Chain A
Amino acid sequence: MARMLSGRLPDPPTAVRRGPLRAGAFPSTLHDQRVASLLGIALGITFGTCFLTGLVSHFMQHPPTWLSWPSRPVWLYRVTQGLHVTTGLASVPLLLVKLWTVYPRLWEWPPVRSVAHALERLTIVPLIAGSIFQLATGIANIAQWYRFHFFFTVTHYWVAWITIGALVVHIAAKLTTVRANVGRKRHERIPGTAVSAAPERTAGGREGDSRREGAGGGGQVLEDLEDQGNLGNGRDGAPPAGGLTRRGLAVATGTAAAVIVVTTAGQAVPALAPLDLLAPRRPDLGPQGLPVNRTARTARAARVAVAARDPGYRLEAVGTRRVGYDLAQLHALPSHTVRLPITCVEGWSADATWHGPRLRDLLDAALIPVDATVRVESLEAHGGYRASEVRPAHARDPLTLLATGLNDADLELYHGYPARLIAPDRPGVLQTKWVHRVVLL
């Protein structure tokens, strides 16, 4: 089996080795294993963060029955989703520079050396496709630019699994290369070092001769040097003639990521709001000083506006008993004021002051048991977000309100007039607006 996988395949005729397939077609010494390894580690961290925070978002919205999210800390989802979008955006320069660095490998010669090599190259396809796809669709989605025909959330979710899976395989494949190129003791970890340089490179340069002579492992040496393909490994690359050094490339890439973070994170981090120049939202811009995601003005939702303003509006809570309140009665209920962030799945979040009755008081009035899950329903007739499920941790939290007011004024239609759910640590899509009924499940 191992032999079959690693057996050397015949090379294609050299006559077809032209253009980018030529030896030395990519002369920049920045096409380098150390650069690729360091950027790979950075991307492993950012994509890992995106994946984990993405899973948090997914399972907050679609919790399996056994999973009960806590309602504290109030800022948990704010942090995870803000981190998700910011880290994703900061990955743009990391990914592009990394792909540029390894681009010569696309034109590697011979294109395949063995079955194992062919399989490894094959897993690069979902890795690159998935990575670019996640960043591109994410960027388009937060700008609400829907040029694709698929449903963003579902597709982004499945492609995340594809991307992260391909990334883990890739890490396994590159473990030795990374170890030989990163860390203080990297030079000791160069597997088999009898040969001095990749054939296409001239020796000499800053770290020129640090390669250690010695115990070579025959075939292993050859394979590892070949694995380097047409990438340099810095140990033998000549310094670039007056352009960016490896260090300079790292500084530029890091600066790009930092500029992106600083000019976008303000949509979630209050202290950075003044520098929020290039994010799709500003936490203080919107009706009543707060951004909005879903409005009641679209054609489909127009009837929500009518229903919400209907003088016959009633808020009902249905448990063992059914209770109902008209607007005047709703406003006469004991009111509480809470300061809670609203956090959109799209990554922005903003603090606001809400007032209105506590959800748990309504549940008590309807004789809904403390350990019960309820459904909060909107006046919307259709749509994936017309209702949301509230499990006991959130339903019973004293901070959870059916808010009738925002920032010391009555709630506007934009924000869910006559009443909306506002609970701690919960994605904005589940903070149901235009609420008219709460039912025991």
Chain B
Amino acid sequence: MSGDSDAGAGAGAGLSVGGFALRVVLVAAGLAALGYGVDGLLTMPRATRPSNATAWLIGGIVVHDALLVPGTMLVGFALSRLVRAPYRAVVQGALIVSGAVALMSLPLWRGYGGSVDNPSVNPLPYGRNLAIVLGAVWAGAALLMISRAVRVRRTGRRGDSADG
């Protein structure tokens, strides 16, 4: 636990006795659930394929920490050079929305999955649909940027209205 403070110094330093007890209960319950899950995963190896499941569990962290976040940071860095102040926030926001939407529907617009003999699985033109959704997102972003441009011109001040 962030918890040197919590577990150790405990009640004396700003944490009430009740708060301390709550934490002890939460930690115990959490560890019990965690252990139950690990035990279940390992006792049904024919269904869970522990080595394959572990590869996916660790693989997820690695892909996220080593690729996704550094990639995002590179994009952020590029934006800070390429897009000026009142508009950058809008572009960042629209990219967050676009990235999340594209990621959660990735198998669909990439054409992964589905079922050869069952046309009711993944039946839509997902590439086109993604374009429609992202088009709407960026249209909204464009409107926001226009309104910011107008505001900047009116007030004559720059970079002051970055709230968005």
Chain A residues with CB under 8 Å of chain B are 2-3, 5-6, 28, 89, 92-93, 96-97, 99-100, 103, 106, 113-114, 116-117, 119-120, 123, 125-126, 128-130, 132-133, 136-137, 139-140, 143-151, 154-155, 157-177, 191-192, 217-220, 223-224, 227, 239-245, 247-249, 251-253, 255-257, 259-260, 263-264, 276-278, 280-282, 285-287, 290-293, 295, 297-298
User: Chain B interface secondary structure, helix, strand, loop or mixed?
Assistant: helix
Residues of chain B within 8 A of A89, CB atoms compared = 104
Distance to closest chain B CB from A374 (angstroms): 27
Instruction: Give the residue of B32, B44, B89 whose beta carbon is less than 8 angstroms from that of A158.
Output: B44
* Given A139-B107, A172-B30, A242-B85: A149 in contact with B49 (beta carbons within 8 A): yes
Top 9 nearest A-B pairs (CB, nearest first) are A145-B113, A161-B37, A165-B34, A165-B33, A242-B85, A6-B8, A168-B30, A286-B120, A252-B93
Bound form: Cα–Cα A245–B161 in Å:
10
Residues of chain B within 8 A of A277, CB atoms compared = 124, 129-130, 132-133
Within B81-102, which residues are at the interface with A (CB < 8 Å)? Answer: 84-86, 88-89, 92-94, 96-97, 99-101
Instruction: Give the residue of B9, B80, B94 whose beta carbon is less than 8 angstroms from that of A220.
Output: B9
Residues of chain B within 8 A of A165, CB atoms compared = 29-37
Bound form: Cα–Cα A394–B68 in Å:
48
A256 touches B97 (CB 8 A): yes
B92 touches A252 (CB 8 A): yes
Bound form: Cα–Cα A220–B52 in Å:
43
Bound form: Cα–Cα A132–B30 in Å:
18
B126 touches A164 (CB 8 A): no
B contact residues, total (Cβ < 8 Å)? 91
Instruction: Give the residue of A143, A155, A217, A290 whose beta carbon is less than 8 angstroms from that of B53.
Output: A155
A100 touches B101 (CB 8 A): no
Distance to closest chain A CB from B44 (angstroms): 6
Task: Flag whether B13 is at the interface (Cβ < 8 A).
Answer: yes
Bound form: Cα–Cα A93–B137 in Å:
15
Bound form: Cα–Cα A143–B104 in Å:
11
Instruction: Give the residue of B4, B97, B124 whose beta carbon is less than 8 angstroms from that of A113.
Output: B4
Chain B residues with CB under 8 Å of chain A are 1-10, 12-15, 19, 22-23, 26-27, 29-38, 40-41, 44, 47-49, 52-53, 56-58, 60-61, 64-65, 68-69, 72, 76, 79-80, 84-86, 88-89, 92-94, 96-97, 99-101, 103-108, 112-115, 117-124, 126, 129-130, 132-133, 137, 159, 162-164
Instruction: Give the residue of B15, B61, B159 whose beta carbon is less than 8 angstroms from that of A176.
Output: B15
Residues of chain A within 8 A of B40, CB atoms compared = 157-158, 161
Residues of chain B within 8 A of A99, CB atoms compared = 64, 69
A260 touches B100 (CB 8 A): yes
Bound form: Cα–Cα A144–B116 in Å:
11
Bound form: Cα–Cα A121–B108 in Å:
35
Bound form: Cα–Cα A140–B8 in Å:
43
Instruction: Give the residue of A253, A282, A293 whose beta carbon is less than 8 angstroms from that of B124.
Output: A282
Residues of chain A within 8 A of B76, CB atoms compared = 28, 243
Bound form: Cα–Cα A123–B60 in Å:
16
Residues of chain B within 8 A of A249, CB atoms compared = 93, 96
A143 touches B164 (CB 8 A): no
A143 touches B60 (CB 8 A): no
Bound form: Cα–Cα A5–B5 in Å:
10
Bound form: Cα–Cα A125–B58 in Å:
9
B120 touches A143 (CB 8 A): no
A278 touches B69 (CB 8 A): no
A243 touches B80 (CB 8 A): yes
A92 touches B103 (CB 8 A): yes
